[in-house]
Amino acid sequence: MSRAGRIDRLRARFDAPDFGASGIDALLVTTPSNRRWISGFTGSAGVALVTRSEARFATDSRYWEQVARECADYALVRLAGANTGVAPAILEGLAGARIGFEPAHMTVAALEGWTRAIAELPAHSRPTLVPAPRAIEDLRMVKEPEELDALTRAVLLGDAAFRHAADRAAPGMTERDLAWLVQEYALQHGAEELSFGTIIAGGAHGSLPHWRASDAPLEAGTGVVMDLGVIVDGYCSDLTRTIFLGEPDERFARVYDIVLTAQTMAEERIEAGMTGAQAHAIAAEVIARAGHADHFGHGLGHGVGLDIHEDPRLAPASDHVLADGHVVTVEPGIYVPGWGGVRIEDQCVMESGRLRPLSTAPKLDPSRPSRPPRPPRGA
């Protein structure tokens, strides 16, 4: 869909009851990922404003040429310096208008700044700021074909980076060494950057879901949780695999089998129309029945797009209703303090009412040698 199409979809929401009985007359977009989604702007500084009849983009001279290239549907509002005078400049001519802002992302200080700047305008030319929660986020949940293309390319590159690094994992290598192999491969093969700092959690560190790679050496006879992601054309990938350095022992094999069963059942049974809470329960029940209810404390998954974590959420309290076009992770895990952990994560798209995994990276069969197959030559 073109940016103009996205603008039209946004305008169609201006009269939604979410924004009060009177709706809104315009939306001020300051959240970087929302700003990129609605305008196409890939720079780091600027404010978009969409009204019922026009779209404006305010930024300083560093980005004027970039706005002309990337934001064809927007009128450029030229600022003298970074964010200098942005409120009076971009709100000109909107006296009495109800301007929606993004309450989940605008800081208290920023809102105070906008409010103060509006109060300094002549009384007859002041608009009113009103919260407009989820004005763009709800639109972003259903991915468009070009978004799915970028997401798929990001996933495949992340899969390749995993294969490259996991095939070279060895005892004595540090967690940082293994993380560097992921980053080096990804950047050399087309990633703009990583979606997040690569998680390499060897041995007992595997019980910490968001452990960051350290200088600790990897040890033979232990599991290694590898959670990584890359960005391609602005869109993120997210993948977790747990490998084993050596032949998996009985305990690791048992825990791995529980997690893999939970993930497989979730991917097979999640369907459109379920809430995120219902989806989470599918995997959580498998893990609980295996005696590890206390060892799975996070949600089953989350949406992925321009942000690494976005809606919909698959979690106990999530009332998001799943639908075709949603891209979500499915990542159950078991974390045992003092021992380690296992997490397996795929990135999936909902199509024809069912999940289709985008991730292709190999998973272990605990009854067979643990090392993933060597990637094709030149991969």
102-119 residue pLDDT tens: 999 999 999 999 999 999
In the chain, the percentage of residues whose pLDDT exceeds 70 is 95
Sign of the CA dihedral 24, 27, 30, 35? positive
| Predicted pLDDT of residue 18 | 85
Sign of the CA dihedral 237, 240, 244, 245? positive
Q: Residue 261: which residues within 8 A CB-CB, separation 6 or more?
A: 286
| Predicted pLDDT of residue 368 | 52
Find out whether 64 and 76 touch, Cβ atoms under 8 Å. yes
| Predicted pLDDT of residue 276 | 98
Residue extents of the structural domains in the chain: 3-139, 141-357
Second CATH level (architecture) for the domain 3-139: 3-Layer(aba) Sandwich (3.40)
Q: At what angle do helices 250-269 and 276-289 cross, to 10 degrees?
A: 150
Here the tokens at position 204 are 């007992």
| Predicted pLDDT of residue 372 | 42
325 sits in the region (left: phi over 0; alpha: psi -120 to 50; else beta) called left
**Residue ranges for the chain with pLDDT beneath 50:** 369-379
Determine the Cα angle at 233 with ends 228 and 239, to 5°. Answer: 20
Find out whether 67 and 74 touch, Cβ atoms under 8 Å. yes
User: In whole angstroms, what is the distance from residue 97 CA to residue 218 CA?
Assistant: 60
CATH number of 141-357: 3.90.230.10
Find out whether 296 and 332 touch, Cβ atoms under 8 Å. yes
DSSP state at residue 371: S
| Predicted pLDDT of residue 95 | 95
| Predicted pLDDT of residue 379 | 36
CA distances from 332 to 113, 132, 335, 372 (A): 42, 33, 10, 20
| Predicted pLDDT of residue 84 | 64
Query: Mind giving me the DSSP string for 186-237?
Result: HHHTT-SEESSPPEEEEGGGGGSTT----SPBP-TT-EEEEEE-EEETTEE-
| Predicted pLDDT of residue 19 | 87
DSSP state at residue 130: E
Closest CA to 22 of 128, 110, 109, 145: 128
Instruction: Please name the amino acid found at residue 186.
Output: A
| Predicted pLDDT of residue 374 | 39
CA distances from 180 to 39, 176, 177, 186 (A): 34, 6, 5, 10
Class of residue 5 by CB neighbours under 10 A (exposed 0-12, middle 13-18, buried 19+): exposed
| Predicted pLDDT of residue 80 | 86
> 238-272 burial string, b = 16+ CB within 10 Å, else e?
bbbbbbbbeebeeebbebbbbbbebbbbbbeebeb
Beta bridge partners of 357: 348
What's the distance, CA 209 to chain centroid?
17
Q: What are the tens digits of pLDDT across the range 329-350? A: 999 999 999 999 999 999 999 9
Instruction: Please name the amino acid found at residue 293.
Output: A
